[in-house]
Structure 1
């Protein structure tokens, strides 16, 4: 059983480390590679083709940015869960619980409206760090939300 964690001071943001490094590292590599390829590509390719190569690289980098920007933010009013495609904002009374099972890629946050949202900003692959972040979030939910009452 994990040791109880006291609620951390707010505001607080949880972000994955490795996931961000990989996403932004590959994004930079792909954009740089697309630019180099556009510069050195041989003759049948014209300026519009070169522009499209760089645009494609930028498009891939944008998708990687969506994966790199994930986070969970907690403040006095509630939490904001920024996932790859959607951002969810909830007040503390709406948040019921957070769970992270051993095999889960990220914790699941349960809300009073019956919705469950995955919190991609806390990566299960960062074992101890993810357990600590989930415990801190659970302590905040208990202290600030109505579920603990």
Structure 2
């Protein structure tokens, strides 16, 4: 039996954040170097746009790296790449993640499902532990059914 984690608690992917921020830094650095050493026929505007393009790509990577799930006394906050959603405990019926899924899915009381990008399926052992902890919290706090 998994012990219910203390609240508040937060789950985030480790590898995704590391790769996203390292890639973002490399892209920005590469675009700066490119802007400095590009052929002379490129104007200052072209060079600035190259760097801004790199910053735009870095922003997209940041949005992917910021994904997380936070649990507190009143419910869950799911921060996905471009949307944040606040859920009260009774709104969340179950959490499921099968082998090969990129992230778990929350089954909600309104009949919809919500992907949870803050738990990354590529980090198999970490993801399994995080899903188990979340399921334990749902059982203790929400309307989740008993698991076998």
- The normalised TM-score by structure 2 is 0.95
Question: What is the aligned length?
Answer: 146
Displacement of 1:48 after TM fit?
0.3
* SS of residue matched to 1:98: strand
Structure 1: 4+ residue segments shifted above 6 A? none
Q: Does 1:143 align with 2:136?
A: no
Displacement of 1:147 after TM fit?
3.2
Cα distance in 1, alignment partners of residues 42 and 87 from structure 2: 51
Q: Does 1:72 align with 2:69?
A: yes
Cα distance in 1, alignment partners of residues 45 and 62 from structure 2: 25
Q: Choose the corresponding residue for 1:115, options 103, 112, 121.
A: 112
Q: Which position in structure 1 is the counterpart of 2:3?
A: 6
Cα distance in 1, alignment partners of residues 28 and 106 from structure 2: 35
Alignment of 1:80-99 (within 5 A): 80-99=77-96
Which runs of 5 or more structure 2 residues have no equivalent in the other structure? none
Q: Which position in structure 2 is the counterpart of 1:21?
A: 18
Cα distance in 2, alignment partners of residues 61 and 100 from structure 1: 29
Q: Which position in structure 2 is the counterpart of 1:132?
A: 129
Which runs of 5 or more structure 1 residues have no equivalent in the other structure? none
Q: Which position in structure 1 is the counterpart of 2:39?
A: 42
Displacement of 1:115 after TM fit?
1.4
- The normalised TM-score by structure 1 is 0.94
Conservation of the 8 A alpha-carbon contact between 2:94 and 2:145: no
